[in-house]
């Protein structure tokens, strides 16, 4: 996860992403073995890409959003 253009933490996903069903942002799915929790706050400037971005690409996006 990036906060203000700086890498704060990362999470490695293994497996095949689902191509059908409900897509959620701001919640941890029960299916991943977590107890289930939701974001207590706001999300803004959410972007979804069809590839992984490298650190330079994330920084450029952050700089252009200021």
Q: Taking the model in full, what pTM does it have?
A: 0.55
Three-state SS string over 15-63 comes to CCCCCCCCCCCCEECHHHCCCCEECCCCCCCCCCCCCCCCHHHHHHHHH
- Specify which residues 38 forms β-bridges with: 27
Sign of the C-alpha dihedral computed for residues 63, 57, 3 and 24 taken in this order: positive
Question: Could you count the other beta carbons within 10 Å of the beta carbon of residue 58?
Answer: 15
- Residue in the block written with tokens 């920084």: 59
pLDDT for 34-57, tens place per residue? 566 677 788 887 888 888 888 899
Residue range 59-64: mean pLDDT, rounded = 89
Residue range 2-30: mean pLDDT, rounded = 74
């Amino acid at each position: 996860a990036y906060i203000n253009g700086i890498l704060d933490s990362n999470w490695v996903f293994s497996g095949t992403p689902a191509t059908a069903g409900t897509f959620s942002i701001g919640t941890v799915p029960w299916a991943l073995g977590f107890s289930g929790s939701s974001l207590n706050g706001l999300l803004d400037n959410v972007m979804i890409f069809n590839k992984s971005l490298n650190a330079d690409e994330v920084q450029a996006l952050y700089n252009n959003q200021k």
